[in-house]
Amino acid sequence: SIVSPLLRTGYHFQPPRNWINGTAAPMYYKGWYHLFYQYNPKGAVWGNIVWAHSVSHDLINWFALEPAIYPSIPSDKYGCWSGSATLLADGTPAITYTGISRPDINYQEQNIAFPKNKSDPLLREWVKPAELNPIASPEPGINATQFRDPTTAWLADGHWRMLVGGVRDTRGLAFVYRSKDFKKWTRAKHPLHSALTGMWECPDFFPVAGSGEENGLDTSEHGEKYVLKASLDLTRYDYYTVGRYHKEKDRYVPDNPAGDYHRLRYDYGNFYASKTFYDPAKRRRVLTGWANESDSVPDDKAKGWAGIHAIPRKIWLDPSGKQLLQWPVEEVEKLRGKSVSVSGKVVKPGQHFEVTGLATSYQADVEVSFEMSSLDKAEPFDPAYDNDAQKLCGVKGADVKGGVGPFGLWVLASGDLREKTAVFFRVFKDGYGKPKVLMCTDPTKSSLSPDLYKPTFAGFVDTDISSGKISLRSLIDRSVVESFGAGGKTCILSRVYPSIAIGKGAHLYVFNNGEADVKVSRLTAWEMKKPLMNGA
């Protein structure tokens, strides 16, 4: 399918051209937010990977600098893969990252780099001390092609610790490396944690403040609870658990013993290789993530670009202490322009209505609260789908009539509804009569173009809906829809490539394909302006 240039995003981070993948070493330094990211300067497919570099004052308006880290020493000669930044005690930022040191196989070693001039707030140049690199190499017994992505280090009892992702057979694991001086690193005998989930890419490990406290903690601060996250190569989702860290043994134990296998995801859609960082300016932990394209490789080559980043999200521990909440950083609201509102509008079974008045329904921010007077008509929940929301939503998509729901939004929808992406909820009743809420993004009707990957994405929403109320926010941006259910309990990013619902041809609707009435208590939709610079 020929992807229209109008599908380049308006306010999501993406460079003017070429391939991007995961974010790396996000950090705040001397008044600037720094975003490094995997980048192919030579084309729109993965390869020739260097660390491109952009800076901003607000995580939304980005200014491109020269690539910061690129192959230049024997232990990164064939690629500079992902890694992280750590602010040392004297405020110096150190980057640790994976280098590829052999051309025949992706032989992975860990390296360290320091700013050439730490008084330069833009951190434009980095040096790699030859006497230190590589700081960690795959000893015998370690699979050298699955040994990468060092995390931000944390300091405890006078020792720095840092994780490196790996796998033994099918056991994904987080190797622990320790150092007194941040120069010489030695591997601990035991991993911090492991599970039979396949390779752990881009691990992340950080303390979280008490349940419901929205502020973040710096990586070396002590937290009641910790979050351990891994990107699973097997399924291409980012998973996490909440648990306790025993620093004397450098071991982590998830609170939920089944958590390693019944894992929570940051995002139930297209969101991978994410990294967090602590932002001291606003005392928050910020999550940055990558979404690849779901059109074809020939499309990517034809359009000359591939990959975007999600809007950075603040993350904190839910009052229940059982999961994280995520919400777009408040700075994105500066892009809001003209808005339209709807209040107290009932949508009868099988009905829908258009939200009119927005000049840019293709580039919008929509917040809506729904209310149902009764959940009696909720369908029975089949426990066979207990661990598989995506499968359930694949069977019961947006156009399959239900009891309470499916109800929600049709975004990037054409006026004749031949193209529409549905973001919706569906409420079931489990065997005890307890409501179970499913949230889905259904792109099966998103485009008339062929050769597109249009997966339905879904997650259960652990929210008390007994009051009949639930909220949804969707950031709509031409070929991406990022949705946040129940205040950020369940998040789904989806990529879509409409062929007629683009530009002025894009419309926004509310729909109800359930048997129960649904009321839109309040809906506000804002036009979203383009940032001044956008990942250029």
Q: How far is the CB of 79 from ligand DQQ (least distance, A)?
A: 7
* Residues of span 317-346 touching ligand DQQ by CB under 6 A: none
Taking Cα atoms as reference points, which of 426, 462, 463 lies closest to residue 441? 426
279 binds ligand DQQ (CB under 6 A): no
- Cα angle 21-266-250, degrees, rounded to a multiple of 5: 95
136 binds ligand DQQ (CB under 6 A): no
147 binds ligand DQQ (CB under 6 A): no
267 binds ligand DQQ (CB under 6 A): no
Q: Torsions phi, psi of 504, nearest 5? A: -65, -15
Among 3, 44, 49, 209, contact with ligand DQQ (rule: CB under 6 A): 49
Residue 489 and residue 298 in contact, taking contact as beta carbons nearer than 8 Å: no
56 binds ligand DQQ (CB under 6 A): no
Among 149, 260, 267, 527, contact with ligand DQQ (rule: CB under 6 A): 149
Q: How far is the CB of 152 from ligand DQQ (least distance, A)?
A: 15
Give the pair of three-digit tokens for residue 60. Answer: 């939304």
Bond from prior residue into 134 cis (ω within 30 degrees of 0): yes
Q: How far is the CB of 532 from ligand DQQ (least distance, A)?
A: 29
Among 13, 33, 39, 81, contact with ligand DQQ (rule: CB under 6 A): 81
Secondary structure (3-state) at 406: strand
200 binds ligand DQQ (CB under 6 A): no
22 binds ligand DQQ (CB under 6 A): yes
Compute the Cα dihedral for 395, 398, 399, 400 and give only its sign. positive
Q: How far is the CB of 38 from ligand DQQ (least distance, A)?
A: 4
Of residues 231 and 512, the one with the C-beta less far from ligand DQQ: 231
Q: How far is the CB of 447 from ligand DQQ (least distance, A)?
A: 25
Of residues 137 and 215, the one with the C-beta less far from ligand DQQ: 137
Annotate 384-404 with three-state secondary structure: HHCCCHHHHHHHCCCCCCCCE
Among 9, 14, 18, 38, contact with ligand DQQ (rule: CB under 6 A): 38
Give the pair of three-digit tokens for residue 27. Answer: 């950090």
82 binds ligand DQQ (CB under 6 A): yes
270 binds ligand DQQ (CB under 6 A): no
Amino acid (one-letter) located at 131: E
21 binds ligand DQQ (CB under 6 A): yes
Give how many residues touch ligand DQQ by CB under 6 A.
14
Give CA–CA dist 73/80, Å, rounded.
10
Partner residues linked to 522 by β-bridges: 343, 369
Give the pair of three-digit tokens for residue 381. Answer: 């929940």
Among 15, 111, 182, 201, contact with ligand DQQ (rule: CB under 6 A): 201
Give CA–CA dist 207/457, Å, rounded.
29
Secondary structure (3-state) at 460: strand
Q: How far is the CB of 151 from ligand DQQ (least distance, A)?
A: 12
Residue 435 and residue 463 in contact, taking contact as beta carbons nearer than 8 Å: no
Among 55, 112, 173, 202, contact with ligand DQQ (rule: CB under 6 A): 202
Taking Cα atoms as reference points, which of 56, 6, 150 lies closest to residue 534? 56
Catalog residues that contact ligand DQQ under the rule CB under 6 A: 21-22, 38, 49, 81-82, 98, 148-149, 201-202, 231, 272-273
